Amino acid sequence: MRPTWLEINLAAITHNYELLRAHAPRARVIAVIKANAYGHGAVRVAKHLRDRGVNFFAVATSGEAAELRRAGVEEPLLLLGALHPANAKDAAAARAIPTITTAAAARAFAAAAGEAEVHLKVDSGMGRVGVAPAQLSELVREVEALGLHIGGIYTHFAVADEDRQETERQLELFLAAAANLPRRYPLHAANSAATLANVATELDYVRPGLALYGLSPDMKSGFGLRPALAWKAHPTQVKKPPAGHGVGYGLTYRASGDEWITTLPFGYADGFFRALSNRGWVRYAGGYARVVGRVSMDQTTVSLPEPVEQGEVFTVVSPDMDERTSLTGRARQLDTINYELATALSARLPRVYLEE
């Protein structure tokens, strides 16, 4: 195993799942495990949640669905987004439930899969994909005329973590469109932020993603969530260069002569962003170590006031609210969101699962 690895605390994922269930006790959970379960490992997370009663998952692509099928995950898999007609055969081969937003996509999927299940998506204000509320009834007629089974109709909130009034406006538009249909279909709308805010949790399903892994959608409120991921590493070399000695590409840092330059075996190809060059931090037993020099593709250098052994454990990502090393704190430093940092964690990083 590489001397850098991710530790995934499955007990934390269980805690977060149960907390989300408490916000929506009557709704079924569609656990969102796209992007390799937000970096946590889709196959292992799916099997863990399945053992705790989850029987419906959501991914983003037919490739993600096919990976889960090969690993023995047989539960329904919803493809989020909008199905492109060219992807219909792959979706059918993965036995996935596509999201239909156009008649063309419905025709392509019916030709590939026969009388299979689909979900329809309504654009209630997000503006990305989805049928307009006024056109939902027509799309329902076209889809059912092809013999496809509509297993659900859903929408997605744009600002559930920021603006409750706008979120409730979107919900009203969605529910009004569904109310105009000739019969009732299963409905869902609540993502992590809406579930935690108790918006749309009375519908048939909720779709938590980020919060399952203990990360707050608004990057401010704890909500009682427990981050499930830690990233750790052992140093590969520790040395004391003379004063003025360059460190890293571009020689953007020069050693003082009084510090120990410690090389850690990860880089931007692993998800430790190059933007952290000369400004990022990691933790070790002696405190914090500052990144010095440019972050390379596979290696990162930090400065220490004293030498450490190669068995020293450095914490690259901490499973707490540490402003310097948590995913959320680092996201604030980089002016981005914790979603981006979690999903950027490379598949080549070994994942070690801590059992309950």
- Burial track 271-283 (b if 16+ CB lie within 10 A, e otherwise): bbbeebbeebbbb
What's the pLDDT tens digit per position in 260-298?
Answer: 999 999 999 999 999 999 999 999 999 999 999 999 999
Q: For the chain, give the percent of residues with pLDDT over 90.
A: 98
326, 272: one domain:
yes
| 249 catalytically annotated | yes
Q: Can you tell me the mean pLDDT for 193-215?
A: 98
pLDDT at 318 over 90: yes
CA pair distance 313, 65, nearest whole angstrom: 35
In a domain, 1, yes or no: no
CA pair distance 92, 77, nearest whole angstrom: 11
Instruction: Show the tokens assigned to 51.
Output: 């053992």
The domain total for the chain is 2
pLDDT at 346 over 90: yes
60, 154: one domain:
yes
What's the pLDDT at 1? 82
Q: Is 335 helix (H, G, I), strand (E, B) or coil?
A: coil
pLDDT band at 184 (very low <50, low <70, confident <90, very high): very high
Element (H, E) at 354: strand 351-354
Q: Can you tell me the mean pLDDT for 72-86?
A: 98
In a domain, 14, yes or no: yes
Mean pLDDT computed over every residue of the chain? 97
Q: Is 253 helix (H, G, I), strand (E, B) or coil?
A: strand
pLDDT at 90 over 90: yes
Q: Is 20 left (phi over 0), alpha (psi -120 to 50) or beta?
A: alpha
Q: Can you tell me the mean pLDDT for 216-223?
A: 93
pLDDT band at 221 (very low <50, low <70, confident <90, very high): confident
171, 303: one domain:
no
Nearest partner of 65 among 79, 51, 54, 85, judged by Cα: 79
In a domain, 75, yes or no: yes
Last residue of a domain, one of 189, 213, 237: 213
Q: CA-CA distances (angstroms) from residue 347 to 35, 69, 234, 289?
A: 10, 18, 19, 25
86, 162: one domain:
yes
In a domain, 155, yes or no: yes
Q: CA-CA distances (angstroms) from residue 246 to 12, 172, 294?
A: 42, 60, 11
Query: Do β-strands 229-233 and 314-317 pair in parallel, antiparallel, or remain unpaired?
Result: antiparallel
What CATH number did the domain enclosing 254 receive? 2.40.37.10
DSSP secondary structure string, 74-97?
A: -S-EEE-S---GGGHHHHHHTT-B
Q: For the chain, give the percent of residues with pLDDT over 70.
A: 100
| 34 catalytically annotated | yes
133, 73: one domain:
yes
57, 200: one domain:
yes
In a domain, 269, yes or no: yes
pLDDT band at 237 (very low <50, low <70, confident <90, very high): very high
Last residue of a domain, one of 153, 187, 213: 213
Q: In what order do the strands lie in the sheet with 4-9?
A: 237-239, 260-264, 300-304, 287-291, 281-284, 314-317, 229-233, 4-9, 351-354
Last residue of a domain, one of 213, 247, 265: 213
Structural domain of 68: 10-213
In a domain, 144, yes or no: yes
Asked whether the beta carbons of 79 and 99 are under 8 A apart, the reply is yes
pLDDT at 356 over 90: no
Q: CA-CA distances (angstroms) from residue 145 to 60, 133, 149?
A: 26, 20, 10
CA pair distance 186, 205, nearest whole angstrom: 8
pTM exceeds 0.85, yes or no: yes
240, 187: one domain:
no
pLDDT band at 45 (very low <50, low <70, confident <90, very high): very high
107 contacts: CB under 8 Å, gap ≥ 6: 85, 146
180, 41: one domain:
yes
193, 317: one domain:
no
What's the pLDDT at 52? 97
Exactly one of 17, 34, 38, 121 is catalytic; which is it?
34
Q: Can you tell me the mean pLDDT for 200-216?
A: 98
In a domain, 181, yes or no: yes
CA pair distance 106, 196, nearest whole angstrom: 33
CA pair distance 277, 341, nearest whole angstrom: 16
What CATH number did the domain enclosing 54 receive? 3.20.20.10
What's the pLDDT tens digit per position in 102-128?
Answer: 999 999 999 999 999 999 999 999 999
DSSP secondary structure string, 12-60?
A: HHHHHHHHHHHHSTTSEE-EE-HHHHHTT-HHHHHHHHHTTT---EEES
158, 21: one domain:
yes
C-alpha distance across the termini of the chain, in Å: 23
Sign of the Cα torsion 272, 276, 278, 284 reads negative
Exactly one of 17, 239, 240, 249 is catalytic; which is it?
249
25 contacts: CB under 8 Å, gap ≥ 6: none
197, 272: one domain:
no
- Choose between 1 and 175: higher pLDDT: 175
In a domain, 224, yes or no: no
What's the pLDDT at 267? 98
123, 158: one domain:
yes
Q: Can you tell me the mean pLDDT for 150-170?
A: 97
Query: What is the 8-class DSSP label of residue 314?
Result: E
